[in-house]
Structure 1
Amino acid sequence: MTIAETSQQKPQNWVPILEQPLFAARKLKIVCAGAGYSGLMLAHKIQHALKCEDEIELVIHEKNDKVGGTWYENKYAGAACDVPAHIYTFMFEPNPDWSSFYVGAKEILGYITRTTNKYNLDKHVQFESRITKVAWDDDAGKWDITTSKKDGSQSVEQADIFVDGSGLLNKWNYPDIKGLSDFKGHLVHTVSWDENHSYAGERVAVIGNGSSAIQIVPQIAKEASYLVNLLRNPTWISSGYAAHLTKTGENFQYTEEEKERFRNDPEYFHEYRHRIEHEFNNFFYALINGTPQQLAAPEAFTEIMRKRLNYDEELCSKLIPDWKVGCRRLTPGDGYLEALTEPHVDVEFTGIDHITADGLVLKDGREIKLDSIICATGFDVSYKPKWAHSGRNGANLDKLWADHPEAYLSTCAPEMPNYFIVNGPNCPIGHGSLLSVMKWTIDYILDWAHKIAREDIKSVTVNQRALKDYNEYTQEFLKRTVWTSGCVSWYKRNGRVTSMYAGSILHYKDLLATIRGEDFNIEYRSSNSFRFMGNGLTQIEVDGGDLASYV
């Protein structure tokens, strides 16, 4: 090879000029799992807030036949939200017509459905379409996503970005109790509720004392001739969130005059919602060890529980916890403790040994005859995906998250390029307004989509240093909170807090506000990371716009 030939060789990062203006965006395809609140927020942001459907092709796969997610699936007796209704809304669609301060699942689903229809948010939703497998194609820089329809047919599509908006409280199973399948009476899990079954005059067992059980028990107690609530551990039953903003400390119905003012006085309505949100977010201080709010909470909630239990000392000794308030998710539970004082209602901590054809046997040998068993035993909250999920170099998310699920800012997973989660591990889901958190997460995801599209990026993957540093700092902060105080809680997995964020939701909001590119391994679509500079012109110049707009 001659010197002349050597000098003519192009460097490895040489690329031809890209004949387009600076920051010209390529069209991306985003596939999202789930058409609950988060998936519909994503649709609204793309269709209406950013108006960027020409830049982003959105597909949402929803396994059910309608939108609504958890509010479509949970139809059990008493199903309701413990968050004040006026802050449990899409930020772009406040609702002046809520019937009461806290509302039930049916009313929430109606609101979600109306909002979806108003803004055409199901425009890109494929219903009865279940994601069964996702796999990263490193050569193409895309996700291969396999879905199955109700009729058994399957299809595969590719996406530049995959968003998991399926929710944490979604995957459920019956509890692992010996003999459960032998029961010949009515057996139901709260998520597979039979709205046509009547419990009138029946002998009923409710297993569990989480949110669903606490809502179900007072409803079924009104019908059943006998009800037993089987528990493993006591739990704090609190006043309602922001209850001091209610008229009597309890749920109440809005008058037609109040709703009319909400409709016709936007400033007043905004201030009312603003005040509830402020007070709701203020509860975070009660979850930090040693704060005045945290120290005062046990005494206040103990008195609430004692009063609701009619000062029955035996029930009080069994049902009032000795661990810190907030270690498990607080549940207001109007009517629950009162129901447990009824003469036809029993509370059992003994534990179930096995189920029989016509009832159950406790660990001490006592047998309880039953007509119905209601499993209010919650969900699989392991964060492991609901589908086969493989990322870069075949990394399996199910295995990566088998023991200690670790995410970055609760949104990005290790070895998973262009993959984002809404309400992932260590997300602020135990305090503050969750719908606000979802909204900020969607904003963060679309900020990344904007960067990927405009800067000629093939993939972004959180790097191991950032992942480990973030999670180590998170766990250290969490030692300051009640969540590490020793209770049994779905907030923890293998002794490690996996479902709580290391700070307030305002802290989370500000942290998400900036893309920290230094925390990611970024791969580009060419060998030169500055190919996005294009042909030396801006879009304004190409469009013949104002060339002195900066003056």
Structure 2
Amino acid sequence: MPSMQEMRSQTMRFDDLYWEASSERIVEDDGELEKIAARADLPVLLAALAAALGDTSFLSSDLQPPLTPVDTQPHAQGGMSPAQQGRAKALALEGLRQLRDKAINSVDLLEDGTVTELLAFLTGGREHWYASLKHELDLAPDKGGAPQWHFDEVAEGRSFPVLIIGAGIAGIAAAYRYAQAGVPFTVVEDAPTLGGTWAKNTYPGVRLDTPTFGYSYSFAQRGDWPHQFAEGGDVLDYVRDVAERAGVVESIEFSTRLVRLLWDEESRTWQATTRLSGGQERVRTFAAVVSALGQLDRPNIPDFAGAELYGGVTMHSQEWSHGVDYRGKRVAVIGTGASAYQIVPALADGVSGLVLFQRSAPWMLPAPSYHDGVSDTFDWLRRKVPHYAQWYRLWVTLQGIPGRMHTVTAEDGWQGAPLSVSAKNQEVREVLIERLEEQFADHPELLETAIPNYPPGAKRMLRDNGVWAAALKSERTTVVTAGIERFSEKGIIDKYGVEHEVDIVVFATGFKPSDYLDEVEVVGRQGVEIHDFWKGDARAYNGVTVPGFPNFFLIYGPNVGGVVAGSLHFMIERAVEFSLKAVHEVLQRGASAIDVKPAALDRFVEWVDAGNRRMAWGQPYVRSWYQNAHGRVSQVWPYTNAEYWEATETVKADDHEFLA
């Protein structure tokens, strides 16, 4: 067993807090290995075998998965034909035999040429993806996420304290990377514990609506996830475990809210006012500030008439009251978005009555395994084949680069608007409607309310394994599409004047994603407050920097949210790494601060806006939380991870001003 020092060394070398130096030895006979090969994800297994055995003949070009574009459901084995799959299974069996017979249970960094061959095989030769994928590949010698410099080497003796706001997914990523660079930092977190959205959202049924292995850090590639779509508690445990392994917990000040930031032009520093839960305030000086407050954090509860009259229990999905027993009670759920989609099926069997207030129906992508655990075959492979789970994570990531982008790209002059935006989008619509028709065949009166009246992909699409339709068809469920007129003492009165008496009201009404930094005053150069600068239209260069606010960095800021393609963690990590590159430029130049130029921001926003106008969510007849009060799509990234990689790869001097 390796010593603690050896484990730390390996973690640093591979930039993975979950690095496993060795796998279990394979002892199974050929018959059992044949069964494993028959049930494996073959492109993943062939890549893992090629890496572990040092034999790229496993990457035969005639077995290369075609990566057929995904319309609604992923294609088995990346679209490999039955003939390809047959040959690949035989080759995989031979590789498993070799691992067993040669007693190979570890893998090391690969040579550049081998990495290129592996990526070419998995991506179909899409070279413009390689750099972004190396960021996710532990075995690439130029993985590229960790800083290749250290504060003491660049700015020894200089005072440069950094404030990181928030200890959720983005804040932990920032703390880890800044710690790697040796940049001194302090994290403030308003909540009494870390975890961000996963600490706050604990409602019944909460879980990922993206595949688990696409929802993790490149520097913390956990392999033993129990579910294909992780439950909320599992994700929270993961975030907290990452923080512990990274050693950043002791740098977090809990129950500490940032209330004000003031740029001091003379000292070129930020004066930060923080407030403890007891009300005590403190003012400190920081050289730079990293805001990791996220987007989906501030609950949105509409101002319903008569709400103060209601005598029952109310709660927002993010503020679930676990002391309230909903079993046997009459419950109203307002909303049909991602949280309602999970809450309604979780409550349906336990309540005496469920009233669902629907403004618009959700589009749902088929996901039969939504509530399933990982398979026994996957568990065996991740234990016995070196680095298999991490290769699988890379496979999920690369498939997500194009995602379903082709299904939501609008055609000029398309006649099917406003119900679809292109021929492919219409095709997806028809497939999904056919599925709804099957699900509601025994309740045709519900079908009309279940079919959305907007294009697929114009709003967030959910994962469907049949439980939503089952909940709506329950004899205990009433679906109300009339809208809400007002609250009463006993419940909710709809626009038809019908009163629905309920004991509990759940606001699954989403968040205020476009209100960045809404509860923080940020005063930059020349006394300009950031919300006055934005005027309700938050904009940031690369989603990170804002002109007039030097050394101030947003993580997962405006316009970088992926909805049909990409990875949340990739976008967050790249924003963190871009901010750290900016800090490096400041330190290396002996400057005080960096400030992005207005022209650079305008150019970036123009590019992003042009991309969004081509998408389903950017059509003039679509309204969703992707847009701000001005109607501009301010939340969503209309390109792929590869484009964001390129945008954040360098800090372009011409786009910035360096303050002395």
Q: What TM-score bracket applies, with the shorter chain setting the length?
A: 0.7 to 0.9
Counterpart of 2:222 in structure 1: which amino acid? N
- Residue 217 (1) aligns with residue 351 (2): no
CA distance in 1, matches of 2:632, 2:349: 39
Shift in CA distance, 32/311, structure 1 to aligned 2, threshold 3 Å: farther
Equivalence for 2:604? 470
Equivalence for 2:578? 444
Shift in CA distance, 249/172, structure 1 to aligned 2, threshold 3 Å: closer
Q: 2:543 aligns with which of 398, 410, 425?
A: 410
Counterpart of 1:461 in structure 2: which amino acid? D
CA distance in 2, matches of 1:325, 1:173: 24
Equivalence for 1:355? 487
Counterpart of 1:315 in structure 2: which amino acid? L
TM-score, reference length from structure 1: 0.85
Q: 1:261 aligns with which of 378, 381, 396?
A: 381
Shift of residue 22, structure 1, vs aligned partner:
10
Shift in CA distance, 121/265, structure 1 to aligned 2, threshold 3 Å: farther
- Residue 136 (1) aligns with residue 263 (2): yes
What does 1:218-237 align with in structure 2 at a 5 Å threshold?
218-237=345-364
Deviates more, 1:141-150 or 1:304-313: 304-313
Asked if structure 2 preserves the Cα contact closer than 8 Å seen for 1:353 and 1:362, the reply is yes
Listed as ranges, the gaps of 5+ residues in structure 1 are 1-20, 241-247, 525-551
CA distance in 1, matches of 2:475, 2:538: 44
Structure 1, residues 158-217: CA drift from partner, whole Å, max 9, x if none? 111111101111112432111212211111111110112211121111001111111101
Asked if structure 2 preserves the Cα contact closer than 8 Å seen for 1:214 and 1:333, the reply is no
Shift of residue 405, structure 1, vs aligned partner:
1.6
Asked if structure 2 preserves the Cα contact closer than 8 Å seen for 1:310 and 1:338, the reply is no
CA distance in 1, matches of 2:483, 2:298: 24
Structure 1, residues 473-529: CA drift from partner, whole Å, max 9, x if none? 3212222111123332100123211111241122111111111121122211xxxxx
Equivalence for 2:315? 188
CA distance in 1, matches of 2:496, 2:588: 67
What does 1:115-264 align with in structure 2 at a 5 Å threshold?
115-240=242-367, 250-255=370-375, 258-264=378-384
- Residue 376 (1) aligns with residue 503 (2): no
Asked if structure 2 preserves the Cα contact closer than 8 Å seen for 1:238 and 1:304, the reply is no
Q: Secondary structure of the residue that 1:113 maps to in structure 2?
A: helix
CA distance in 1, matches of 2:495, 2:655: 52
Asked if structure 2 preserves the Cα contact closer than 8 Å seen for 1:310 and 1:341, the reply is no
Question: How high is the sequence identity, in percent, across the aligned residues?
Answer: 25
Equivalence for 1:530? none
Q: 2:587 aligns with which of 449, 453, 470?
A: 453
**Pairs aligned (count):** 492
Q: Secondary structure of the residue that 1:305 maps to in structure 2?
A: helix
Counterpart of 1:271 in structure 2: which amino acid? W
Structure 1, residues 416-472: CA drift from partner, whole Å, max 9, x if none? 111111111111332321011111111111001111111111222221211222212
Equivalence for 1:307? 438
Equivalence for 1:482? 616
Equivalence for 1:388? 521
Q: CA RMSD in A?
A: 2.0
Listed as ranges, the gaps of 5+ residues in structure 2 are 1-151, 412-421
Shift of residue 34, structure 1, vs aligned partner:
0.4
CA distance in 1, matches of 2:231, 2:578: 30
Q: Secondary structure of the residue that 1:332 maps to in structure 2?
A: strand
Counterpart of 1:503 in structure 2: which amino acid? Y
CA distance in 1, matches of 2:178, 2:153: 22
Asked if structure 2 preserves the Cα contact closer than 8 Å seen for 1:33 and 1:166, the reply is yes
CA distance in 2, matches of 1:98, 1:506: 26
Q: Secondary structure of the residue that 1:132 maps to in structure 2?
A: strand
Q: Which has the higher helix share?
A: 2
TM-score, reference length from structure 2: 0.72
Shift of residue 285, structure 1, vs aligned partner:
2.6
Equivalence for 2:81? none
Shift of residue 249, structure 1, vs aligned partner:
5.2
Asked if structure 1 preserves the Cα contact closer than 8 Å seen for 2:514 and 2:635, the reply is no
Q: 2:192 aligns with which of 52, 65, 68?
A: 65
Equivalence for 1:507? 643
Greater relative CO, 1 or 2 (CA 8 Å, sep 6+): 1
Equivalence for 2:406? 285
Deviates more, 1:480-489 or 1:61-70: 480-489
Asked if structure 2 preserves the Cα contact closer than 8 Å seen for 1:352 and 1:362, the reply is yes
Q: 2:530 aligns with which of 366, 382, 397?
A: 397
Structure 1, residues 332-355: CA drift from partner, whole Å, max 9, x if none? 154122211112211111111111
Q: Secondary structure of the residue that 2:218 maps to in structure 1?
A: coil
- Residue 270 (1) aligns with residue 390 (2): yes
Counterpart of 1:327 in structure 2: which amino acid? A
Q: Which has the higher strand share?
A: 1
Shift of residue 257, structure 1, vs aligned partner:
5.8
Equivalence for 1:419? 552
